Structure 1
Amino acid sequence: MLTMQQRNDPWGHVLAIEMIASYGMPVGREVFETVRWIGRFQQAWHSPEAVKFVYRQDVKLHLCKTPRAKDGNVRQALLDMFPRTGGGKTPQIGTKAQPGPLFGVSSHAWAALGVAVTAAHQMREGV
């Protein structure tokens, strides 16, 4: 991953990373390990100063219009943004036979998609 990020990008992609925010609560080893990797990914990016950091609070506010949103609310807001093209209970996701535009997105990928969508919208709006 780090080696791939060091290559020049002729398409001008932007690296968006969910940044850690402290709210005064004690944190464990995993948080420090995450912060360490955030720094490594930024440093490895071909343009380190151009990395876009997005806080979870910003994702909730942008997609759900409230800082109290939960992961399920973020997921639903993302589903609502995409057309209902596939089959099954959630056509945006679809089925293997009729995949929708969000087919394969699951678990932590919803949070990553929320970060990507928020970063893209903020850049379009000049934020």
Structure 2
Amino acid sequence: MAAEEVLQGADHYKSEIERLTRELSETTHEKIQAAEYGLVVLEEKLTLKQQYDELEAEYDGLKQELEQLKECYILHESLDSSCCPSATQMLSTQPLGLPSYLTEGAGWRDRQSDYKRSLLELPPL
């Protein structure tokens, strides 16, 4: 009888060791999956941060360009053609501070009028 109890005890410990080994394997697998997911999230965060920085830099550049366009428009509007015909003529033929893509090619006067109209519609910063 003592031998039988020893065999039952050994079988019990053997099955317990197998159960604990399976649980350890499952837990280890879950931790590895969580770590891999964390790396994916971190990579995505870095990508989004880089995109945000690029968009913020573009926004700052466009904001500065808008301010220059507003200043140019205000200068252009403040010049009285009867008082300073040479300055008005200069602004009409070669606008100050405007990027070259706005003045090159046909139709730049239409684009200039469009920009004047849209500048007047913009809310203050």
TM-score, with length taken from structure 1: 0.27
- Rg comparison, structure with higher value: 2
Structure with the greater relative contact order (CA < 8 A, sep ≥ 6): 1 or 2?
1
* Structure with the larger strand share: 1
* Structure with the larger helix share: 2
